[in-house]
Amino acid sequence: MSSEHFKYPVFGQVDYFKYNNVASQLASHTPSPSHSQELGAKKRTVDPIVTGTSVIAIKYNGGVVMGADTLLSYGSLARFNNIERMKKFGKSTIIGAGGEYSDFQNLSQVLDDLVVDDGCTDDGTTLSTTEIWNYIARVMYNRRNKGDPYWNSLVVIGHDNNKSFLGKVDLVGTCYQDNFIASGYGSHIALPLLRKAYKEDMTLDEAKTLIQDCLRVLFYRDARSSRFIQLSIANADGLVITEQIALDTDKWDSGDSAKKKKNQDGRKKKNNYRNDSTQVILEYGHNVV
C-alpha cells in the first residue's frame, strides 16, 4: 500500500530518552490507516453481498419444526453450499436467518454474549425464547434507527414451560408470532401451501414432510435456493438441528403426460393434412403446395 494511506511519525516527534512517557508517545504516533474508523470512516450494510434465502417454520402438536437450505449466494452465484443458517441460543431457542450472513454472524455474537451474561447472573433462571425474541426485535429496531440495520429476516423457534413458540423479526424490527411462518421468497411461494395444509393436531412427521415439500417447491421456483437442506426441531425433548438432507427433486418427468398428448395431437393434425391433400389431388389431379 502506498505511503499516502498511512500517517507515520516524523523523525524527532518521539523522544526515546524520556522513559516516563515514551509509551504514550508511541501509542499516539502508531501508524494507522488514513481511512480508519477513528478518522471518521463509516461502515454500513448498504447492500447485501453473501445472502441466504427463505426460512420456513410451522408448529405441530408438541413443538415446532423449522427448515432452511444450506446455500449462501454471492450475488447470483451459488457460492457456499454447506453453511448452516440455523443456530442454537441457550437451552430452548433456535434462530434461522435469511439475508446477509455476515450480519447474522455479528448478531449471533451479541446473542451469545447475552446468554453468557445471563448465565453468570446465576439466579436460577434462564432466558426464555420469548425474551430472546423481544431482545432481537429491540436490537433490530435500534440498528434501523441508526441507518445501519442488520440485513436479516429472522425466524425464532423454541419450547419452554411446556409451550411452543414461533416468531419472526425483520430488518426494521417488525415482529409477530404465528402458527406458521415463511421468510424471503418463501413468503410468496410457500406460505399458501402452509395455510392449506396446517392443522393444530399435526404430527411431527407430517410437519417435517410439509416443510420438505415447501422447500422442494422453492428449489424449483427460487433461483437462490438449493436442494440441500437442514431441519431443526424444538420440543419437550430439547433442541435438534439435523445434518444436511438432500431433497428428492427428480420430478422432471411430470410433463410426460402433456408431452404424450401433444404428440398425439400432432399425429392427428398430420393425418388430417394427408387426407386433405389426397382429396385435393383426386379433385384437381395435381399436388397443391
Give residue for cell 436442494. 227
Cite the active site residues. 53
Cell of 239: 433442541
Q: Collapsing DSSP states into helix, strand and coil, what is residue 182?
A: strand
Listing DSSP states for 105-173 in one string gives: HHHHHHHHHHHHHHHHH-SS----HHHHHHHHHHHHHHHHHTT----EEEEEEEEETTEEEEEEE-TT-
Query: How far apart are alpha carbons 85 and 43 in whole angstroms?
Result: 24
Distances (CA, A) of 91 to 58, 127, 160, 174: 20, 8, 9, 25
Contact 228/234 with Cβ under 8 angstroms?
no
- Could you count the other beta carbons within 10 Å of the beta carbon of residue 83? 14
* Ramachandran quadrant class, 238 (left: phi over 0; alpha: psi -120 to 50; beta: rest): left
Q: How many CA atoms are closer than 13 Å to the CA of 189, on its beta-carbon side?
A: 20
Strands 152-160 and 55-60, sheet pairing: unpaired
Q: Side chain identity at 2, as an amino acid letter?
A: S
